[in-house]
Amino acid sequence: MEIPVIDLAPYLEFSSKLSDSGKEGIDPQLKCLCLEVSRTLRETGALLVNDPRCTAQDNDLFIDMMEKYFEMPDDFKRLQERPHLHYQVGVTPEGVEVPRSLVDEEIQEKLRAMPIEFQPFTPTGPDPKWRYMWRVGPRPSNTHFKELNSEPVIPEGFPDWKDTMDSWGHKMISAIEAVAEMAAIGFGLQKDAFTSLMKQGPHLLAPTGSDLRRHGQVDTVFAGYHYDLNFLTIHGRSRFPGLNIWLRNGQKMDVKVPVGCLLIQTGKQIEWLTAGDCIAGMHEVVVTNRTTDAIKLALEQNRSLWRVSSTLFAHIASDDVLKPLGHFAESPLACKYPPMFAGEFVEQELAVINLKGSKGDL
């Protein structure tokens, strides 16, 4: 099964003319496009989009800066480490994030039942990747979850850091908001059913850095089999392949993101809001033969051997309540998704994967 590429341009052209419900005055062709978005998210947990506001040049500018950062000495990078804030701002060193599949017994049981050809690679410990967390967008002035809405951390010696991070982050959030509106319309909800809950959410531009000089052997697991705890995740195209995703039918797929496109994946929060009609997509990042081919080309061209993922986690606002929306509240599965603050849900999830409770965390 191929993941379709959705061109957002037609929707962006007419979205400002739609009512908040999105049910009146929508062009039949646009309605079909929205239905394709919701169907694809439901069936695959992933979606490729082309957004004219997010160019390949934008992505390259961002990756260039992040490669320079991750190439800095470890002692320098650790100056931006904030373990007491659950690593939700600043840098997360390699060896901190624990793959969900290592600590979640329910996932481990599912893995054992998978056909061998669809099983993920087995990590041997915490992920050997670095990550940088950068808040994008306004934060609430009053919140019960201050540690999830902290001020950003800016490394010294990178004068364009804030502008580059904010520019790319805002563009990717804009793409997510368009997809969220289209998905809501496709699901038969109000146009702003999701986006109204995203306002002042703790959105995170969260690029990872994986050192392919040290960890470039085939089958090295950079990010063990896991789902994302947020609403929707969006990625720009990486310069090194390695992302595998699992479709809802259990099929494993090696993702190929076309130049200029963005990959969107479903997180746990959209699963909550749709009572499991969408489920959080499982994925991993592993060194494959395609990765080693890209390493050889990078060596020939004297380019960086840090694999940077251009990733943004879009969240529901911490003080908003996660619960099945609209007609999803009538689903027989709705009882599996009891109401809770989004911030409370995030804290519970972070505790499981070792980003809360360590090194003096709250």
Between the CA atoms of 226, 232, 233 and 237, what dihedral angle is there, to the nearest 10 degrees?
A: 130
Gap between the Cα atoms of 319 and 322, Å rounded: 9
Q: Is the pTM here over 0.75, yes or no?
A: yes
Rg of the chain, C-alpha, whole Å: 20
Strands (E), 31-121: 46-50, 90-92
**Alpha helix (H) ranges present in 301-357?**
342-352
Gap between the Cα atoms of 325 and 187, Å rounded: 10
Gap between the Cα atoms of 139 and 148, Å rounded: 10
CB 360 within 8 A of CB 83: yes
Gap between the Cα atoms of 227 and 224, Å rounded: 10
Per-residue pLDDT of the chain (362 residues; tens, 9 = 90+): 678 899 999 999 988 777 665 556 688 889 999 999 999 999 999 999 999 999 999 999 999 999 999 999 999 999 999 988 878 789 999 998 887 778 778 888 888 888 999 999 888 788 899 999 999 988 887 877 776 556 789 999 999 999 999 999 999 999 999 999 999 999 999 999 999 999 999 899 999 999 999 999 999 999 888 889 999 999 999 999 999 999 888 889 998 899 899 999 999 999 999 999 999 998 999 999 999 999 999 999 999 999 999 999 999 999 999 999 999 999 999 999 999 999 999 988 877 755 443 322 22
Calculate the alpha carbon distances from 20 to 181, 185, 188 in Å. 10, 10, 13
Quick one: which H or E segment has residue 108?
Answer: helix 105-113
Gap between the Cα atoms of 317 and 140, Å rounded: 9
